[in-house]
Structure 1
Amino acid sequence: MPLQLSRIEQLPNEILDQIISYFSTDPPSYSRLRRLPSLGIASSNRKDLKNVSQVSSRFLALVRPFLFSHAFLDLHSETEFLSFISQNVLARYVLSIVVIGHDAPDHRRDLFWWRRVLRYLDPLRVTIIAPPAFIGAMLRMHGDADSWAFEIPLQSLHLRQDRRQRNFDKLIPFEEPSSLLSARTWTSFGFNEGSSLKPYNHYEYFHYKVPSIFNSLRNMESMRFWLDNVTSFQYVAVFPFYNHVHRVLEFVERIPNLQSFSVQLIPDQRDNVEIEAKGSMNPSDPWMEIESGYSIILNTLALSLGNTGSLQEFVAFDYNSLPAGPSGILWDTLDDTGWYHDGQGTWTRS
């Protein structure tokens, strides 16, 4: 007697595919890009798709495009990861990937891992979580820094392209670009710098330089070929010094086709970051730096950036979280300068 299929298994693949799509959600990393960089950025307790894939071989085939659309790679396991992707013909399904990099004790880093990964994959989004030294060396954008004073364990880089550029039905020769930033036509660039709180405990903290890719802007001309593609830039940090914010703005002003610029300079409330007065720290200093930082940003928007023509949107994610003092005086800078404010921290060109 033949085994009778359950009612759901009698449905055609097209309907089952539609049903399964409702189990697919954005990966947790998307909502954590503005939190302190963490190795757990991709962790989740949801196992809906995995559970559905175990029903039968037919369900596994239907779930596979959704199950592997968001990948996670620890570079310690790169060989195993790429072998799994290749053997199971999964490359076409990977739309985003989170990559964890490490700073080796002997300082020897494989800075071209992305060539091998992008040889197989063509994701729309790439998020890299790694120590500052790793990211700076990988991008060849590392300058002098007082790393000992900041003790930043991790930073994150987020890149996004509008459309995939590879035809997975054809094995085409892969040209080896010199930089990850030129390996795809990235249109969105985001950098999360981590926390700058620790140096506030030192006397004349403002003389210290945070480990950052923005410390080395001398080779900006060589970056022009990929900066031309960038239309969206997001900068996230926790209490950065105003002089460093100025350095970031020097980078932003060199993005010729920038349309959207967003910033967050105070910690996400979910991270429970507290200002503890230690050493010579004045608890008001971090807030003074934020006020000065936003003052520089808004004046730049009102003047040089506001006159570029391409920039159409500015977002201050901190708008509703700043103390009453700064939030009551800073934003007036953009009044009568051609910017329209929605009252929630987003300005658009009128």
Structure 2
Amino acid sequence: MDGTPSHRTNVNSLPNELLIQIATHLDTLPPSVQKFAHEPSIELTHQDETPLKSLSLVSWKWRKIVLPILFHYSRIPLDRHPQWVPIDARLLENMQSQLTNLSNHEMQIFHKMRSKFKSSSMFAFDESFDDLLINLCRVHDGDNFLKSVPNILWLPHLPNNFMAFVRLASRHNLKHHIKSIVLYSDKDYELRHVATADAPLARAVAEIWSQVFFAFDPYRVVVAAPPSTLAGLLDTQMLSSDTWAFNMKMHYIELHMSESRRNEMARFQRRPSDIALIHRRPWSHLGYNEGSSITAYSTYEYHLKQSPKMLYLILIRLAKEVVECFNIRSFSFHGVFPFSTNTTAIIRALHKIETLRSVQFQLAPGLENNLLSSPKRMGRAQPHDLWLEWNESYKVIAAYLSIFEFEDGSEFISKDCEDSTLASEFELYARMLSDKGAGWRKEGVGRWVRDFSLDREDRETLLRPSDVTTYVS
């Protein structure tokens, strides 16, 4: 022994820089990335193992180290509680009998609606009068009378603890560490039949996105919700009266901004605060997962049914954007046996977006999905019909790839090719491209790259007139 005291070294004695490096090795891809291509469910953000969260509970030092990494991928569930009441003549009469018990907000509603009713020449209790002058009013804290109304309705709104999350992010300077936000709900928006619901819905949705983007600066946003709710959150419509036939519980949309666009965003003209989500940022990628269409195959004359058309409307809306830096360069679509008519509508919209450089499709169940072996899921659907629509869809896609003026080096990916059987099926459509003179070079499983050097000189003459008129309408 030389008399020098020994010092024990443990992980907490390491410098913070090394601890950060250790923590980053636990920063795995979040479930919203890993499961985005899976059949949609409310479990998109669920993860059984959360090593970073566990590490943050070890000590205050580790919590401080882990916190910025822990919130890279954040989630915001919409509040499930209904907050809106339809005010009609009969409800106003009940309010009048309890004036002394009304809150200040309820009194304002009472006087405003009473003036509106008095200005009408109709009798206040005619049934048509109720239909004509229904107003939706939001329930505030302290509105005990309105809270007791049996018919309280739901519009999308942020949870009560959202501001607590904002304060946490502000206190720990997390705003620029939050890369991704998943906004999700499993509640259906059911007020499409109420004409006066449009304005409250638009204000509620604008308020959601204004608060999210004021508090955070994510480069990726995912919205997971039932089709009716997603349409509202995206400021679009469904364009379908057949949603019952498809029984789609949830759709996903992913909007992603490249690092270069994020760094240059200060140069872009500031967007108005009440615009739709798709125009809030210069998104470079749009991904969509509409889930399974298989339930509709069990219905009479299934081929006449129309699935929800939010994606088609969004793509058309993007195509009308005149500033190239605010348009997408990559697109991915995931569905389980969508009808070929739906695929055709998507392709028609894609053809109008000239900035596209990467396109990806998945039209069959993934390897994690046992749908085809489940009699309960299949119902009365015939496998022949499923694969017929799959093949017709890929014919439409192949025609699009042969016509669209992709840049040299652009890519097409078929995720279906991860299944070796489907990969051999798709090879037939890949050969269609060369038959029409378009040069696409295969690189890896399910990936083709546009290669001008492989184009045939007579490419234009090989295209049939129907190829162009069908997909460029």
**C-alpha distance in 2, partners of 1:300/1:285?**
23
**C-alpha distance in 1, partners of 2:322/2:159?**
31
CA contact (8 A) 1:150 1:196 kept: yes
**C-alpha distance in 2, partners of 1:161/1:49?**
25
Equivalent positions of 1:255-266 (< 5 A) are 255-266=353-364
CA contact (8 A) 2:188 2:229 kept: yes
Q: Which amino acid aligns with 2:277?
A: L
**C-alpha distance in 2, partners of 1:266/1:81?**
37
**C-alpha distance in 2, partners of 1:160/1:184?**
9
Return closer, same or farther for 1:49/1:297 CA change in 2, 3 Å cut-off. same
Q: Which amino acid aligns with 1:195?
A: S
Q: Which amino acid aligns with 1:150?
A: F
**C-alpha distance in 1, partners of 2:417/2:325?**
28
**C-alpha distance in 1, partners of 2:409/2:252?**
24
**C-alpha distance in 2, partners of 1:310/1:202?**
44
Q: Are 2:190 and 1:95 equivalent residues in the alignment?
A: no
Equivalent positions of 1:153-302 (< 5 A) are 153-163=249-259, 165=262, 175-216=272-313, 222-225=320-323, 228-274=326-372, 276=375, 278-279=379-380, 281-302=381-402
Q: TM-score when scaled to structure 1?
A: 0.88
Relative to total residues, which structure has the larger helix share, 1 or 2? 2
**C-alpha distance in 1, partners of 2:62/2:289?**
39
Q: Which amino acid aligns with 1:344?
A: V
**% identical aligned pairs:** 27
Q: Report the 3-state secondary structure (helix = DSSP H, G, I; strand = E; otherwise coil) of the residue aligned with 1:91.
A: coil
CA contact (8 A) 1:139 1:179 kept: yes
In the other structure, the counterpart of 1:170 is: none
Q: From 38, 42, 46, give the equivalent of 2:41.
A: 38
Q: Are 2:23 and 1:20 equivalent residues in the alignment?
A: yes
**C-alpha distance in 2, partners of 1:328/1:142?**
36
**C-alpha distance in 2, partners of 1:221/1:264?**
22
**C-alpha distance in 2, partners of 1:40/1:83?**
24
Q: Which amino acid aligns with 1:80?
A: N
**C-alpha distance in 2, partners of 1:94/1:311?**
32
Return closer, same or farther for 1:284/1:100 CA change in 2, 3 Å cut-off. same
Q: Which amino acid aligns with 2:43?
A: G
Equivalent positions of 1:70-85 (< 5 A) are 70-76=73-79, 78-85=159-166
Q: Which amino acid aligns with 2:432?
A: T
Return closer, same or farther for 1:105/1:158 CA change in 2, 3 Å cut-off. same
How far is 1:177 from its partner? Answer: 4.1
* Structure 1: segments with no counterpart, 5+ residues: 168-172
Q: Report the 3-state secondary structure (helix = DSSP H, G, I; strand = E; otherwise coil) of the residue aligned with 1:271.
A: coil
Q: Which amino acid aligns with 2:31?
A: P
**C-alpha distance in 2, partners of 1:226/1:118?**
22
CA contact (8 A) 2:238 2:309 kept: yes
**C-alpha distance in 2, partners of 1:97/1:349?**
33
1:183-231 deviation line (CA, Å, top 9, x unaligned): 1111010111111111111232111100131454775664455785211
Q: Which amino acid aligns with 2:429?
A: L
In the other structure, the counterpart of 2:243 is: 147
Q: From 49, 58, 62, give the equivalent of 1:59.
A: 62
Deviates more, 1:118-127 or 1:45-54: 45-54
In the other structure, the counterpart of 1:340 is: 441
